[in-house]
Amino acid sequence: MKRYNIGYGRHEPRTGPDLPRLLAVGALAIPRCRPKRYAYRMNQIIAFKLAFSVAALAAIPPLSAAETKNPLDQIITIRQSTGTLKAFFDSVSRQAPLEFRLVGLEDCTVGAFMWNRSVREVLQVALQGGHFTYTSFGRPNHYTVSPRPDDKVGCRRLSPAPKAQGSCLIPKGAPISIKCKDGPLHSFASILFSQSDSTFFLWNGAENYPVSANMESVELDVAMKGILSDEALIVNTIGLNNTFAIGLRSN
């Protein structure tokens, strides 16, 4: 077996080079290398490793603005005629790096029409209008959604729940025109959503509540007058422009 001296002058040479170990510490097995020559070679190796590390760090691309942005400030769009509350939050998760876990809201159905709203605004509308609350559960951007402890409205299964049998149409006209005859509220909200800068969150079965309307070229406040005065509905105007959370009163 070949004998090596890795740089200790006239000292007894070491035998059996362990190349993986030597390379791991940045040393090279150099036969009969003198101390000064060894120190010079080690300095070269250290300088090379430092230069390589600096180059590797410089090659890492910087985080984009989307990656450094708070997920709650991300702009999203949701259009859900009717579906479960889980489907609503799944839609939020698909557009922003957030995870939601629902507790006690498995039977809740909602509708939502929200265009270019931040996640923070979407959650404000849903949680304030739908009488929910959410808390973080351990990991960043992970939340538990549950009914408010002191809530007397909540999201409950209705028996029997009214169901729309008709439909809603859009006649010619501007800014808002709509024709409904016992059409579902989610169709009514969808038409207003498409013709105006408005946001709707429908909960507790309100998305299928039957409404009738026949209006041409009216403003949003006029179009919403019948909905706001309906005693069967709970209408909350959230602190955002033209934002409505509409629920159906429980029996």
CB 119 within 8 A of CB 134: no
pLDDT tens-digit profile of 186-210? 999 998 888 888 889 998 888 889 9
CB 160 within 8 A of CB 153: no
pLDDT at site 77: 93
Run of H or E residues at 129: helix 119-129
79-93, 146-160, 176-190, 233-247: least confidently modelled range: 146-160
**Is residue 51 pLDDT above 60, yes or no?**
yes
Which has more pLDDT, 238 or 67?
A: 238
Structure tokens at 108: 């809740």
Please choose, from the candidates 69, 66, 113, the residue with its C-alpha nearest in 3D space to the C-alpha of residue 88: 113
Domain 66-248 has CATH 1.20.1250.20: no
Which residues have CB under 8 Å from 27's CB, separation 6+?
6, 42, 45
pLDDT tens-digit profile of 82-95? 888 889 999 999 99
Which residue in the block uniquely carries the two structure tokens 């800014």? 175
Label residue 140 exposed, middle or buried (CB < 10 Å: 0-12, 13-18, 19+). exposed
CA distance 108 to 247: 11
Q: What is the DSSP letter of 107?
A: T
Residue 96 pLDDT level (bands cut at 50, 70, 90): very high
Domain(s) of CATH 3.55.50.30: residues in the chain: 66-248
> Looking at residues 28-42, what average pLDDT do you find?
57
> Looking at residues 162-186, what average pLDDT do you find?
72
Q: What is the pTM of this model?
A: 0.64
The edge-to-edge listing of strands for the beta sheet with 243-248 is 75-84, 109-118, 199-203, 243-248, 233-237
| Percent of the chain surpassing pLDDT 70 | 63
Residue 237 pLDDT level (bands cut at 50, 70, 90): confident
